[in-house]
Amino acid sequence: MIIDKIDNARFYYCLGESFKKAFEYLQNTDMKNLPCGKYEIDGDNIFVSVQDYHTKPEKEGKFEAHKKYTDIQFVILGEEQMGFGNIENYKPSTFYDEKNDIVFLENKEEKNFFAHVKEGYFVIFMPQDAHMPCIENNNPAYVKKAVVKIKTGS
């Protein structure tokens, strides 16, 4: 898991050409005015889902992980908490959904770790990173977010 300001995205171009394309898209697109929906950057290799919602309490959240895609979750407006941990510390609570590339997880340990992700920040979740997005900081809040999916697995 990596968390940083979008202004520092250039430091992560070294992760590969796909990451560079994804970050350039986020930086060169008027994300605040982009309507919610799915946008292709490089076919099914790199695409972005723009969404908006109100954050929820941690007890309503679910940890998830992906096998085929890495997430770059970029908070366009608002702020939220994002839970995270190494997938080895979790066990599946559902079967892996290959079509949607998602499995929901339960923590094997008592403590969950959270990052406070503010407007203008992004988080990278690799396939080994369990994550719980969309969690309220102290109260429910409106968030507009872009989730870039980068194909990194099989």
What is the rounded distance in angstroms from the CA atom of residue 113 to the CA atom of residue 128? 15
Cβ 30 vs Cβ 50: under 8 Å:
no
Average of per-residue pLDDT values in the chain: 95
Does residue 153 surpass a pLDDT of 90? no
pLDDT in tens, 93-142: 999 999 999 999 998 776 779 999 999 999 999 999 999 999 999 999 99
pLDDT at res. 96 = 95
Sheet with 113-118, side-by-side order of all strands: 90-92, 103-107, 63-65, 129-135, 79-86, 113-118
pLDDT in tens, 11-27: 999 999 999 999 999 99
Identify the burial level of 148 via C-beta atoms within 10 angstroms of its C-beta, where 0-12 means exposed, 13-18 middle and 19 or more buried.
Answer: buried
pLDDT at res. 2 = 96
Q: How far is CA 113 from the centre of its chain?
A: 15
Q: How confident is the model at residue 154 (pLDDT cuts 50, 70, 90)?
A: low
- The domains located in the chain, with CATH, are 2-151 (2.60.120.370)
